Amino acid sequence: MTVEMMVDRLEDLKTAVTQRLQIGQQLAELGDPRPGVSVKNGVPEINWLPVYPGGELMLLRHWQPDTPNETESFRQIGPFIVEPFYISKYLVTYKQYQTFVEAEDGFTNPIWWREFPEDFQQQPLAKQYNPRPNHPRDTVSWYQCVAFARWLNQQLTGFTLPHPSSLQEWEIGKNAQIRLPTEWEWQWAAQNGVEERPFPWGEAQPNVANTAETESKQTTAVGMFPHGAAACGALDMAGNVMEWCFNDKTNPATIDAASTKTKVLRGGDWGYNLANATTNYCDDEKPDGLDPLNGFRLVLGPILQNE
């Protein structure tokens, strides 16, 4: 079966989860040639998608309790101004992260770990829960994700893209930066801005995201549920793995590499139900946390001075 045939099968909503897992494995065996999933010329290849226009956003945080003694909560925080930006179509894959790990100037270079608490500078990697190259890199901490983004930002310094508004040009290292998304950027892309979709694809629908209902009990290769795409085209913004955001949970406007305060996680995962994968569902974890349900994606956007 050709790559084109496999991708076409993914577009059929009737394709079973077991078949999607198999297609992901077959693509992995072929080196997964989909743009944005692997590595090109020794550098992770990212498929950047414009998120435009920007606007004003109220952060919406819904929390479903894990235990009977906890209370469901719903909060609004803000407003926040969202500038136009680019978001990666796919979650960062295991193959892409391994390129950072194996690079001479990569994981072991202390410059990418600057300002982190001393105990977590070059924080040892945990074993990948699902080590296929085209699956999302899981079991990574916030520190490890930020270090990867810093390294990739340096690798791509000088790379240019049109500003999403087409009014100017963005150049990495000059007026743009590769980094984790802020929580307000993540929510804006997931809900399609002022449309405020409850899920990236719209209303609740079965079999369009890798959540507990699929009974996969594992990650899938990235992009195996194209019907679950956000309006901007980003895949797996609901399900597969939770996604680290750049900011603190308690004080969302704060981005501080030296802080040990909990960081935001968004997007649901394979271990929890669809109700935990809405565009306003919010979790958090200590920045050194290593959880097989957690991964990340990147944005290319305005330089954040605090970083």
- Of residues 133 and 70, the one with the higher pLDDT is 133
Structure tokens at 9: 């099968």
* Confidence label for 307 from pLDDT (cuts 50, 70 and 90): low
Residues 291/299, Cβ–Cβ less than 8 Å: no
168 pLDDT band (50/70/90 cuts)? Answer: confident
Percent of the chain at pLDDT > 90 equals: 91
Q: Report the alpha-carbon distance of residue 187 to residue 16 in Å, rounded.
A: 29
pTM, two decimals, is 0.96
Question: Considering only CA atoms, which of 171, 174, 149 is closest in space to residue 162?
Answer: 171
Rg of the chain in Å (alpha carbons)? 18
pLDDT tens-digit readout, 60-99: 998 776 666 767 778 899 999 999 999 999 999 999 999 9
The tens digit of pLDDT for each residue in 134-166 reads: 999 999 999 999 999 999 999 999 999 999 987
Statement: residue 239 has pLDDT above 90: yes
Would you kindly state where each structural domain of the chain is located, as residue ranges? 36-301
pLDDT band with cut points at 50, 70 and 90 for residue 288: very high
Q: Is the preceding omega at residue 200 within 30 degrees of 0, hence cis?
A: no
Count CB-CB contacts under 10 A for residue 130: 18
The residue-averaged pLDDT of 116-128 equals 95
Q: Three-class SS of residue 70?
A: coil
For residue 6, list its beta bridge partners. Answer: none
Topology of the domain comprising 36-301? paralog of FGE (formylglycine-generating enzyme) (3.90.1580)
Q: Is 144 helix (H, G, I), strand (E, B) or coil?
A: helix
- Report the C-alpha gap between 20 and 158 in whole angstroms: 37
DSSP state of 291: -
3-state secondary structure of 56: strand
